[in-house]
Structure 1
Amino acid sequence: MFTLLRTEGHARRGIFETVHGTIQTPFFMNVGTAAAIKGGISSIDLANELKCQVELCNTYHLHLRPGDKIVRQMGGLHQFMNWHKPILTDSGGFQVFSLAKLRRIREEGVYFQSHIDGKAIFMGPEESMQIQSNLGSTIAMAFDECVENPAPLDYVKNSCARTTRWLIRCQKEMQRLNSLEGTINPHQMLFGINQGGTYDAIRVSHMQEIAQLGLDG
């Protein structure tokens, strides 16, 4: 639940309540890509000394090492990290962009080569949701394509349309996973990602499409 406390211009101040605790907005999200902050900062220090409210972890990297199924066996990311506040997991969609030389994008999903050992990997909307469900994060991000900037107008249009189709598949799979007995976090939320490159009109229309789906964010 999000409670709006105050607005000033385009800025807003609010309280975001989750199953893993309350987040005061706006907020800075510490990035613990592989379930840890670089530099030797412990989860205890993050919570008690730095007053971190939420951490971000990376679906693609955790899928490769140590493996999302291992994290699930250990009780999910919260137990694995000894972090008991909210966690957001990104979907792996950014790796569609950053690993451009190691991937092929198709309607069903993306075919990767691992940046670690070259192993063949496939990730689509359903696989991304399954991995994030195994991780048990508070917020799961939808699987999307992050295009390079600038990119041709027609490509961006087609990419956004595909990202919307993927989002609908993510939503369906998330609902299925949350209904299963034994799911680590049956209250896992799904957020859509607004794409559209540098084209304002496409970004606005894509945002409107996302808003119509009734997602958590």
Structure 2
Amino acid sequence: MDFELLSTDKAGIARAGTITTDHGKIETPIFMPVGTVASVKGVHQRELKEDINPDIILGNTYHLYLRPQTDILKKAGGLHKFMNWDRNILTDSGGYQVYSLSARRKIKEEGVKFKSHIDGSYHTFTPENVMEIQRTIGADIIMAFDECTPYPCDYKYARRSMHMTHRWLDRCIAHLEKTPPLYGYSQSLFPIVQGSTYKDLREQSAEYIASVGAEGNAIGGLSVGEPAEEMYAMTEVVTNILPKEKPRYLMGVGTPINILENIALGVDMFDCVMPTRNARNGMLFTAHGTINIKNKKWQEDFSPIDEMGITYVDTYYSKAYLRHLFTVNEMLGKQIATVHNLGFYLWLVREARKHILAGDFSSWKNRMVTQMDKRL
């Protein structure tokens, strides 16, 4: 993997760059649609590629391990071939999913024993077998196995967890050195900075992660319930330490405003279920604010969903029609809203890139934050 830093904003922090892998180029900053179980929910791959047009999507080790299971993925030739996606894929290691199964898992130094949310069967994730699973899935960028701490989190627990995450990282690296990729293209490991919302722990973790010399680095354990101001403060602490010549990925973030504010802090990569999950509940993100399409005010609004939108659904369908689909619980409504929201997120990060390159990112970002913080 190669990362080229092309430009920064006037403050020298917001960045525009290009990541190049064996599956092509990723222009940063970038948002990665979440395809948890080998599918971005409600979206055909053709729509994903031609209308939403992301350079990279995300899959999840925990879910793919359980279904369809790694033997199926291996027989298919990896996740790219299984889902017929010829662009980049990143896989989350499953650390966050294990965190979310707090009542169903036990964490020890060796790894995590957890109970499947599907059938109650027991499984164990270790740094070694999570690397093996991600080798089999075949993503271009794979994540180190970590523990995602909750918020709020006791300082002693956060410190103990952080050090264990670092030890697990060492084991991930050692295992990858013994096991080559399976499908003829390279895979890049991103370690994950932890430390909850404690500045000193975040500094320690960022310094340790930076010392490993990985091809890219991630920031985990945020967007788990802490106030946005704490998220931004911890992100700033970490981006001030992580190497500038490597891409930085903030995991699980977030709202359109969160994304712009974190781009301003030097983050390059994002993922979040929010655009797809909120779409299924009738919430549409736009450059001028958020629309609850279920509201009666849209019942006789025959204007396009979003005249500024980049996908075909934005001007092909009206607000009144989309509201009708939600009212009668027609699945097409959720699909249309999903395509719109993902298209908007990709438009947003690409506009951010343009303004970084043009040198006016800060003023544009402030204007966009004000506009998007409205209910239409």
Matched, 1:152 2:169: no
Q: Compute the TM-score of the two structures, normalised by the length of structure 1.
A: 0.96
Q: Percent identity?
A: 46
Bigger radius of gyration: 2
| Higher RCO (CA < 8 A, seq sep 6+) | 2
Query: Counterpart of 2:198?
Result: 199
Q: CA deviation at 1:186?
A: 4.9
Which residue does 1:4 correspond to in 2? 5
Counterpart CA distance in 2 for 1:100 and 1:142 is 20
**What does the per-residue CA deviation read over 1:100-134, in whole Å, with 9 as the maximum and x for residues that have no partner?**
00000000000000011110100010111010000
Tell whether the 8 Å contact from 1:138 to 1:185 is kept in structure 2 after alignment: no
Report the AA paired with residue 85 of structure 1.
R
Partner of residue 108, structure 1 = 110
- Structure 1 partner of 2:19: 16
TM-score w.r.t. length of structure 2: 0.56
What residue number does 2:209 align with?
210
Matched residue, 1:190: 189
One of 78, 81, 99 as aligned partner of 1:79: 81
Larger strand fraction of residues:
1
Contact 1:21-1:86 within 8 A present in 2 as well: yes
Q: Is the 8 A contact 1:178 1:186 kept in 2?
A: no
The letter for the 2-side match of 1:212 is S
**Aligned partners of 2:99 and 2:184: how far apart in 1?**
29
User: Hey, what's the Cα distance between the residues in 2 that align with 1:96 and 1:38?
Assistant: 21
Alignment of 1:1-150 (within 5 A): 1-8=2-9, 9=11, 10-39=13-42, 41-150=43-152
SS where residue 88 of structure 1 aligns? Answer: strand
Q: Alignment partner of 2:193: what SS?
A: coil
| Alignment RMSD (CA, Å) | 1.0
Contact 2:127 2:145 (8 Å CA) reproduced:
yes
Bigger share in helix: 2
Task: State the SS of the aligned residue for 1:49.
Answer: helix
Across the two proteins, how many residue pairs are aligned to each other?
A: 213
Structure 1 consecutive aligned stretches of length 4 or more whose deviation exceeds 6 Å: none
CA distance in 1, matches of 2:154, 2:138: 37
- Output the CA distance in 2 between the equivalents of 1:69 and 1:166: 25
Shift of 1:13: 0.5
Q: Is the 8 A contact 2:22 2:185 kept in 1?
A: no
Task: Determine the C-alpha separation between the residues in 1 that align with 2:169 and 2:121.
Answer: 26
Where in structure 2 are there 5+ consecutive unaligned residues? Answer: 217-376
Give the direction of change, closer, same or farther, for the CA distance of 1:212–1:23 in structure 2 (3 Å limit).
same
Note the alpha carbon deviations across 1:74-111, whole angstroms, 9 max, x for none: 01000011001010000010122100000000000000
